[in-house]
Structure 1
Amino acid sequence: MSHPTLEDVAARAGVSRALVSLVMRGSPKVGKERREAVLKAARELGYRPNVMARGLAAGRTGIVGVLLGDLHEPVYAAIHDGLAAAAARRSVRVLLTTGGGRPARERAAVEQLLDLRPDGMVLAGPRIAAAEIERAAAGCPVAVVGRSLRSDRVDQVTGDDAAAVERAVARLVALGHRRVACLDAGPGSGRPARDALERAYRAAMEAAGLAPAVRPPGEPAGPWHGPGAPTAVLALGDSTGTAALAALYRAGLSVPGDVSLIVHGDPPGAAAAGVTTAAPPPRELGGLAMGALLDRIDAGTTAGGRRITVPPVVTERATTAPPRGTRG
């Protein structure tokens, strides 16, 4: 079944196609009675203006394509909320797709978005090669969330992950903890990211005059009871943080009675479970990326990308407390 056209609306309302076009554009040149007749006919037929065609004719579609790295990771849902809110404030529509965390799927998704000729694109957590992002940016303005590139044409919004780790360690030290173990982010985060986070942890511990202790992801290894056991844990990464809380409970520990826990990231259900987190607010990341992109679209240029770094926030909840024996 074909979609109703301007001609169909004109025939139903008994007016010309040109007059229907004026009504759909909101022209003040049409009288109230004829306008209402056209709108009534459009409603009865289920007519909707072709936004894509109208936008292409005007040189702007009013649509921004958004690629989310992996919908199974809750951080992307929060990033999307920020993107969507910023787009809505400026009357822009969002066309959403995902790459499922796989470069080949991302590559195909980006090509599909480009085929639809959006005004611009936001890539959140992309895993495709930097050269491919550059090629996409040659066709339309592009903003990237959560990844740093050597590019002067792509807007880049990243969180300060090293600062998040430093603030988490500093908060645990301020609570009185001296034995702070670190659970690394696991293979899913990528080796460079894991190394950078671990270096930040080691530096923060050494700056506090404390001995770092990195443990593998998953089931926390090593003694968790008795003298010398950690009194606090910093878990790196969303999935590691979720696993750490469950593993600490399985080890027979109370949190924060026996051991405090801070998660670097924003694991699923963190707020509901009362987990303390240290991370840049993902909603803010999305909002800033969309804002930077729309500013550049309005300026009519694909060059001059901005670099924005979002500082972390430590959100203290029920999993952190002073070490046992030091509480008043």
Structure 2
Amino acid sequence: MRPTQEDVARRANVSRALVSLVLRDAPNVSERSRRKVLKAAEELGYRPNAFARSLASKQVRTIGVLINDVTNPYFGGVYASFAAAAEKAGHDLLVAPGLRSPSKEVTLVNTLLEHRVAGLALLSPIMATADLRRIAKAWPTVVVGSEVSGVGVDVVTTDERQAMGEVLEHLTGLGHRDIVHITGGQNRAARDRATAYRQAMRDLGLTPREVPGAFTDQGGRQGAQAILDMSPRPTALVAANDLIAVGAMGVFAAAGVRVPEDMSVVGYDDSQIARLELIGLTSIRQPVDRFGTAAVEMLIERIAGNQAGSMVQRIATELVLRDTTAAAPRSR
């Protein structure tokens, strides 16, 4: 049976009310009583021990992490990177799985804050800018994977223009001129990638063509259906993430459109699914290992009060070539 606050009170020879006051960090408790209760709690293995230790040292060393979409393999890599960097820095993590819902994200962040976290790491949040601004104003916050400006948060993200420029240089080098983009929806990361795509196409003197989608394989399937109805049909697709690309490839295969002979496909994230031999997806690799290190360093500095203005660190990407891109077909 797990020890209770009553057990702690008996071990410390104090009242149950005093134990509650100590564990809530109430100000009207003597240091002697506080140490006595925390020592008893530690000896009994009363949970949450991390919370008790933070009270004893007067320093909270837990970071709250909000993950946009736990079903997307990309976020697994980002979280693993962040967790490794946090552990190395001596911090614990409290994780809330986002459900691709702006309102639920806000609720989850409020829950994290109720657990006395020292700071927040938000992995590609989709909550309203006003909510993000309110949270960042009250708590040290870093955003990972999407760009946010003017809300008082530090940001670690990719250089979207560099990434899209490299993709389109590769595709145009293969002779493609009609290149379509399936977007990831209306969230920040998707908008940033769509903006970068449009700019890179125009820089090359090409006409952008976009199909609305979402950061899911279903979004890719729906986008691919729209592409099949286009006339003339594009010869290359740049998807907003790997799930979209793989969903689209399934629809193309069912329709007899060969990848890459008839349609070249590029994904984004270089997640585990892109690296599967059966898929072999050409994709933009984000250096998620560097994401974690940079984000933890930024957040610790902000928690310590050493960072005044907002910082944005854009990390260069790498285009990984596999089996889904080839020379543009010569004729239709």
Q: Please indicate the TM-score interval, normalised by the length of the shorter structure.
A: 0.7 to 0.9
The letter for the 2-side match of 1:284 is R
What's the offset of the Cα at 1:213?
4.1
Q: Could you tell me whether the CA contact under 8 Å between 2:181 and 2:239 is conserved in 1?
A: yes
Does 1:131 pair with 2:130? yes
Does 1:290 pair with 2:296? yes
CA distance, structure 2, for counterparts of residue 49 and residue 212 of structure 1? 54
Classify 1:178/1:291 alpha carbon distance in 2 versus 1 (closer, same or farther; 3 Å).
same
What's the offset of the Cα at 1:166?
1.8
Structure 1: stretches of 5+ with no match in the other structure: 11-17, 26-40
My pick for the range that moved more, 82-91 or 45-54, is 45-54
Q: Could you tell me whether the CA contact under 8 Å between 1:167 and 1:314 is conserved in 2?
A: yes
Give the corresponding residue for 1:34. none
How large is the RMSD of aligned CA atoms in angstroms?
Answer: 3.6
What's the offset of the Cα at 1:51?
2.1
Give the corresponding residue for 1:208. 204
Give the corresponding residue for 1:184. 182
Alignment of 1:1-328 (within 5 A): 1=1, 2-3=3-4, 5=8, 8=11, 50-151=49-150, 153-174=152-173, 176-185=174-183, 189-190=185-186, 197-215=193-211, 217-222=223-228, 230-266=234-270, 269-272=273-276, 273-297=279-303, 299-301=304-306, 303-323=308-328
Classify 1:324/1:49 alpha carbon distance in 2 versus 1 (closer, same or farther; 3 Å).
closer
What's the offset of the Cα at 1:96?
0.4
What's the offset of the Cα at 1:63?
0.8
Task: Output one character per residue of 1:252-289: Cα deviation in whole Å (capped at 9) or x when no partner.
Answer: 23322333211134466111121011253344333321
Runs of 4+ aligned structure 1 residues displaced above 6 Å come to none
CA distance, structure 1, for counterparts of residue 48 and residue 260 of structure 2? 58
Q: Could you tell me whether the CA contact under 8 Å between 1:99 and 1:109 is conserved in 2?
A: yes
CA distance, structure 1, for counterparts of residue 188 and residue 291 of structure 2? 21
The letter for the 2-side match of 1:111 is N
CA distance, structure 1, for counterparts of residue 229 and residue 312 of structure 2? 43
Q: Could you tell me whether the CA contact under 8 Å between 1:277 and 1:314 is conserved in 2?
A: yes
Q: Could you tell me whether the CA contact under 8 Å between 1:154 and 1:303 is conserved in 2?
A: no
Name which one, 1 or 2, has greater alpha-carbon Rg. Answer: 1
Q: Could you tell me whether the CA contact under 8 Å between 1:220 and 1:247 is conserved in 2?
A: no
Q: Could you tell me whether the CA contact under 8 Å between 1:232 and 1:259 is conserved in 2?
A: yes
What's the offset of the Cα at 1:128?
2.5
The letter for the 2-side match of 1:303 is A
CA distance, structure 1, for counterparts of residue 187 and residue 61 of structure 2? 39
My pick for the range that moved more, 194-203 or 53-62, is 194-203
Three-state SS of the structure 2 residue aligned to 1:127 is coil
Q: Could you tell me whether the CA contact under 8 Å between 2:136 and 2:151 is conserved in 1?
A: no
CA distance, structure 2, for counterparts of residue 239 and residue 173 of structure 1? 23
Three-state SS of the structure 1 residue aligned to 2:224 is coil
Classify 1:169/1:301 alpha carbon distance in 2 versus 1 (closer, same or farther; 3 Å).
same
Classify 1:129/1:198 alpha carbon distance in 2 versus 1 (closer, same or farther; 3 Å).
closer
Three-state SS of the structure 2 residue aligned to 1:91 is coil
Using the size of structure 2 for normalisation, the TM-score is 0.74
CA distance, structure 1, for counterparts of residue 129 and residue 179 of structure 2? 35
What's the offset of the Cα at 1:103?
2.2
Q: How many residues align?
A: 293
